[in-house]
Amino acid sequence: MKTLTIKLTAPLQSYGNEASFARRTTNDYPTKSAVIGMVAAALGYRRNDKRIAKLNTLSFAVRIDQVGRHLTDFQTVEWKAGTRKITYRDYIQDAVFVVAIGSDDVDLIDDIKFALKHPRFQLFLGRRANVPAGVLEIQEFTDQTPVAELKELKWQAATWYQRRQPTKTLEIVADANLLADKSSALVKDRVVSFDQRNRQHGFRAVARDTVSLSQLKTQSSDLDTQHDPFSALGEE
């Protein structure tokens, strides 16, 4: 199996688990359907493209490296003349997640990696306004399942968070078949259709595990707080 790890971080992220006109909530971590949506956008698939269904076969796991704080925003919407309603939107602030996707189809993984670096459509983290905080950090591994890699990959949280947070373990949420020894639960997170006129999701099984920080390869190497904003311009 070939696996990609993708670091997801932004000022705001939102991964809907329930949605209505009045209230749109968020999960505490990226959903598989949201990541499939991001991958489909990078590949240039339209919302009604039948090729999206194949992306459900990707093995999926996510590690919560930096727990975010919840924010509830509200908007006043005039949905018809003279009628206004208050709607609420939930977001996750300042969170850092590492998503891992894998497949035995090496060509598919290669195509996804290239597309995420050269996306056809705008990438966003759950909602269109939630763009990633810079270019996605992607790493590639061979002969590793998503869970196996997340149990080794260095801690990706911000340096200030690592210094303040007394945590000893990180939580992993994955496809249930990747954590066969753990109890599982059904979540409505399998993509059936992204078509805005007929959006549908089915159920898939997930399981949870934890990994001790002592098991990880290294702590985050981002310890230098010095930043030269002109370094990205290169030398003439």
pLDDT in tens, 147-179: 999 999 999 999 999 988 777 899 999 999 999
pLDDT in tens, 14-36: 997 666 666 688 889 999 999 99
Q: What average pLDDT does the chain have? A: 89
pLDDT at 226 over 90: no
164 in Cβ contact with 67 (< 8 Å) = no
* Residue of 112, 65, 102 lying closest to 178 (CA atoms): 102
| DSSP 3-state percent helix, strand, coil across the chain (nearest 5) | 20, 40, 40
The stretch 63-87 carries a mean pLDDT of 87
| Phi, psi dihedrals of residue 189, rounded to the nearest 5° | -145, 20
Give the percent of the chain with pLDDT over 70: 89
**Class (C level, CATH) for 2-217:** alpha beta
pLDDT at 80 over 70: yes
- Cα dist. 191→55, 70, 71, 121, 165 in Å? 9, 25, 26, 19, 35
139 in Cβ contact with 203 (< 8 Å) = no
Q: What's the pLDDT score for residue 221?
A: 44
The stretch 89-105 carries a mean pLDDT of 96
CA–CA distance, 41 with 122 (Å, rounded to integer): 7
Residue 220 — very low, low, confident or very high, per pLDDT cuts 50/70/90? Answer: very low
pLDDT at 231 over 60: no
Predicted TM-score (pTM) of this structure: 0.86
Q: What angle do CA 10, 91, 155 make, to 5 degrees?
A: 45
pLDDT at 233 over 90: no
SS3 69: strand
Q: What are the contacts of 113-120 at 24+ separation with CB within 8 A?
A: 113/4, 113/138, 113/140, 115/39, 115/42, 115/43, 115/44, 116/4, 116/6, 116/38, 116/39, 116/42, 118/42, 119/41, 119/42, 120/41, 120/42, 120/43, 120/44
pLDDT at 235 over 80: no
Residue 224 — very low, low, confident or very high, per pLDDT cuts 50/70/90? Answer: very low
Residue 104 — very low, low, confident or very high, per pLDDT cuts 50/70/90? Answer: very high
CA–CA distance, 188 with 222 (Å, rounded to integer): 36
Q: What's the pLDDT score for residue 46?
A: 94
Q: Largest alpha-carbon pair distance within the chain?
A: 60
Question: What are the domain boundaries of the chain?
Answer: 2-217
